[in-house]
Amino acid sequence: MNINTTKIISLLFFIFSAFYLYTAYQIQVFAFDENAPFNARTFPIYLGYAGLFFSGLKLILLDPNTIKVDHKNLEYKKTGILILIAIIYGATILKVGYFLTTSLFLFASYYFLGERRWILMFLLSFPFVAAFMYLLHGILDIYLRDPFLQSIGVMG
Amino acid sequence: MIEGILIGLKTALTFQNILMVMVGCFFGTIIGMLPGLGPMTAIALMIPITYGFDPATGLILMAGVYYGAVFGGSTSSILLNAPGVPGTVATSFDGYPMAQQGKAGKALAIAAWSSFAGGTLSAIYLLFMAPSLSKVSLSFRSPDYFALMILGLTAIAAFSSKGQFLKAMMMVVLGLMLASVGQDSLSDITRFTFNNMNLTDGISFVLVVMATFAMSEALTIILKRNDPTSAAKQVSLTELGSIKINKEERTKMYKTIPRSSVIGFLIGVLPGAGATIASFLAYGMERNVVSDVEKEKFGKGSVNGLSAPETANNAACSGSFVPMLTLGIPGSGTTAVMLGALLGFGVQPGPRLYMTNPEIFWSIIMSMYIGMVILLILNLPLIPYIARILAVPKNYLIPLILFFSVTGIYVMSFNNFDIYLMIGIAVVATFLRLYDFPMPPLILAFVLGGLMEENLRRSLLLSNGSWEFLWDRTLTACILVTTILIVVWHIYKTFKRKN
């Protein structure tokens, strides 16, 4: 059997399905429901077997259309940085507030992607987020939680 | 029906809704022109904005985005031979050669008029077909619904997998597994939450759509060093020439449009099929029915060859609304996103939508027509200017997509966990995309997961645990036979290709 990344993904999916199936069998159902034709664990159990079946087939069958990805040409560094910035954004948005974190997230993302036109970067972060917030909060009446703007009295 | 049409017109013709169609068409055209970012991403990015509207307005906006994206995809197909969406690949066969002959404006005009005519005709078909189908679908029972969902999932896996059916089926199962997280709808027993309170209500649909489409597409663009905006920059520099269509060309279109619209609409109605298959079929059929002289022109800038796929892909878009509005079962990934949004509004599409929420049902149908008119009047002359807006570097585009994705989740839950979960799913989806694992089957399965379990539960309880319900009713058996035929046909095709 030719080992390639697709097969490895299928193997991981097979393991995941086995774990899912095991967890499905562990679902606690009410005593009166235990022998019912259908209870909370029935559908997940079928899904677990379906996952094992399809990933198992993918594992054992020959794959004529092998996908080859040239990892040397992939931009892992910038993607990683972007994901990291997004995680930091997610971690701070509740405490710091929507306006400041979103503006800083956009500004930092532009910078790490290689942009250096500072004025444009600024315009497409702080004023842009302010305008978007006005659209959501002011016009469309969608609540946006922002402790920072509330503390300085900009937002009610 | 007349009363319904009037209600729909009244709702669709309010200032706010006309504005939403215009905004939707405009925004959709922009996204559709960017290769890689399709209508699903465009609609997903619109979801946070629709929270502020009533369901009809929200859906009208999304429908406008859908049509706009297909129109935008045609533009980059014709001018650059770089289809923005898969449904417009066949458009490039004759559209691009025409543009190379210095008739770019004419090619765009033919495409726009064909789209308009295809959309208009299919809106008329929808007008008559949807209420009848709604009445028929009232006789559907749980086993039929369950079988129909199996058919829909199998079909979308077969048609969207590019020869990788097993990969698509794995994505279907993954989508269903994600949908099973959280409280069981009947017993309230929590499943797969691992004592995490944030998962008790299950994983949000918006989160999964944003992660698997908007966010993972943005990450894929960076990872693969693609620049979707480069195509748009070229569009803005292209000389379009005259957009006038002469009498001879019009005569050819008059014959092509009706037959292609019927094909497009019927293919669109089928679960899982959609604009791509419709446009290829219409192109193939047109080539078979035209005269030998005209046949020679196919692939070299034929009017029929351009008009047929453009008519069909727009007709298919309207057709794909039929199963969603009448059965509550989306026929494509895009309508699955819309269904999820509708469920978010608390509206349950299905046979009763036509009676319980006629304003939503009819206003969507009416707004489709308005959308077509807007695309024709506004977007066609504005293409070079829209393309100039698009010439923003990807360094700005990508963070803005990420920003819209995170905002969508933030305004929905005000919860860090959801943002982390979205990033996690997006990273996995990006990796899976690299190896050609299709995402639309995952979304459709995620949307249908709850309904599927509910219908299976009812069927099994009624039949006392026996699986005989699958062949007890003729309708259920017919649907399952169709499913089996799709699978067998797909296996046969794979073996044929191998040999």
Q: Give the Cα separation of B366 and B59 in Å (integer).
A: 12
Mean per-residue pLDDT of chain A: 88
Cα three-residue angle B490-B495-B497, rounded to 5 degrees = 95
Considering A16, A48, A69, which residue would you say is the last residue of a domain? A69
Closest C-alpha among B66, B70, B98 to residue B84: B70
B435 near A CB under 8 A: yes
Q: What range defines the domain where residue A142 resides?
A: 74-151
| Cβ under 8 Å to A: B residues 137-176 | 163-164, 166-167, 169-170, 173-174, 176
Q: Could you identify the residue written with the tokens 């079929």?
A: B281
Question: Which H helix or E strand runs over A154?
Answer: none
**Chain B: closest CA distance from residue A150 (Å):** 16
Contact of A150 with chain B, judged by CB distance below 8 Å, is answered with: no
Same domain, A50 and A108: no
**CA–CA min distance A64, chain B (Å):** 8
* Mutation for testing the B interface, residue in A33, A47, A65, A105 having most B CBs under 10 Å: A47
Claim to verify: residue A62 and residue A121 sit in the same structural domain: no
How many residues make up chain B in this entry?
Answer: 499
* A89 and A102 both lie in a single domain: yes
Instruction: Tell me the two tokens of residue B101.
Output: 């002959």
Examine residue A95 and state whether it is found in any structural domain, yes or no: yes
Structural domain boundaries, residue B11: 2-498
A residues 58-97 near B, CB within 8 Å?
58, 61, 64-65, 67, 69, 73-76, 78-79, 82-83, 86-87, 89-91, 93-94
Number of Cβ pairs < 8 A linking chain A and chain B: 176
Instruction: Encode pLDDT of B228-260 as tens digits.
Output: 666 666 666 666 667 788 888 889 899 899 999
The ipTM is 0.93
Phi/psi at A77 (5° precision)? -65, -50
Taking the C-alpha atoms of residue B240 and residue B236, their distance in angstroms, rounded to an integer, is: 10
Domain count, chain B: 1
Q: Please tell me which residue of chain A has the smallest CA distance to B431.
A: A9
Residues A18 and A85 in one domain: no
Average pLDDT over residues A24-51: 92
Domain boundary residue, one of A43, A69, A95? A69
| Single residue among A19, A40, A69 that ends a domain in this structure | A69
pLDDT of amino acid B364 = 76
d(CA B122, CA B184): 39
In this structure, the number of other CB atoms found within 10 A of the CB of residue B57 comes to: 22
Chain A's closest residue to B462, CA to CA, is A37
B236 in reach of chain A (CB within 8 A): no
Q: What single-letter amino acid sits at B49?
A: I
Task: Using CA coordinates, name the residue in chain B closest to A61.
Answer: B166
Q: What is the pLDDT of residue B239?
A: 64
- Total of domains in chain A: 2
% of chain A surpassing 90 pLDDT: 52
Give the separation between CA B470 and CA B473, rounded to whole angstroms: 7
User: Hey, what amino acid is at B471?
Assistant: W
The 10s digit of each residue's pLDDT in B256-268 is 999 999 988 888 8
Q: DSSP string spanning B468-481?
A: THHHHSHHHHHHHH
A34 contact residues in B (CB cutoff 8 A)? none
Strands of B172-324 (E only): list them: 182-183, 190-191
Q: Check if B53 contacts A (Cβ < 8 Å).
A: yes
Q: Which residue has the higher pLDDT, A39 or B350?
A: A39
How many CB atoms lie under 10 A from the CB of residue B487? 16
- Is A55 a domain residue? yes
Residues in chain B closer than 8 A to A50 (CB atoms): 173, 176
Instruction: Tell whether A16 is covered by a domain.
Output: yes
For residues A53 and A90, membership in a common domain is answered with no
Model confidence pLDDT, tens digit, residues A73-131 = 889 999 999 999 999 998 998 888 889 999 999 999 999 998 888 999 999 999 999 99
Please give the residue of chain A at the shortest CA–CA distance from B215: A83
Phi, psi of B431 (to 5 degrees): -65, -45
Q: Do A109 and B402 touch (CB under 8 A)?
A: yes
Are B191 and A27 inside 8 Å of each other by CB? yes
A31/A63 same-domain check:
yes
CA–CA dist B413, B425 (Å, integer): 17
Residues A124, A59: one domain? Answer: no
**Which residue intervals of B320-439 are DSSP H helices?**
321-327, 333-344, 353-356, 358-374, 380-390, 394-413, 416-434
* A83/A138 same-domain check: yes
The DSSP-derived string for B31-75 is: HHHSTT--HHHHHHHHHHHHTTS-HHHHHHHHHHHHHHHHHHHHH
Backbone φ and ψ for B183, nearest 5 degrees, come out as: -70, 140
Same domain, A13 and A52: yes
Maximum separation of any 2 CA atoms in chain B, in Å: 70
Question: How high is the pLDDT of residue B1?
Answer: 66
The reply to whether A19 falls in a domain is yes
Same domain, A83 and A113: yes
Residue A36 DSSP symbol: S
CB B208 within 8 A of CB A48: no
Clarify whether residues A84 and A45 are in a common domain.
no
**Distance in angstroms (rounded) separating the CA atoms of residues B335 and B341:** 10
Q: Which residues of chain B have pLDDT under 70?
A: 1, 35-37, 82-86, 134, 137, 160-163, 228-241, 271-274, 331, 379, 384, 386-392, 497-499
A36 inside domain: yes
Chain B residues closer than 8 Å to A38 by CB: 456-457, 460-461, 465
Same domain, A9 and A65: yes
Answer whether residue A156 is part of any domain: no
Do the Cβ atoms of B411 and A136 come within 8 Å? yes
Q: Which residues pair with B307 in a beta bridge?
A: none
Interchain CB contact of A12 with B (< 8 Å): no
Percent of chain A whose predicted confidence (pLDDT) is above 70: 96
End-to-end CA distance of chain A: 64
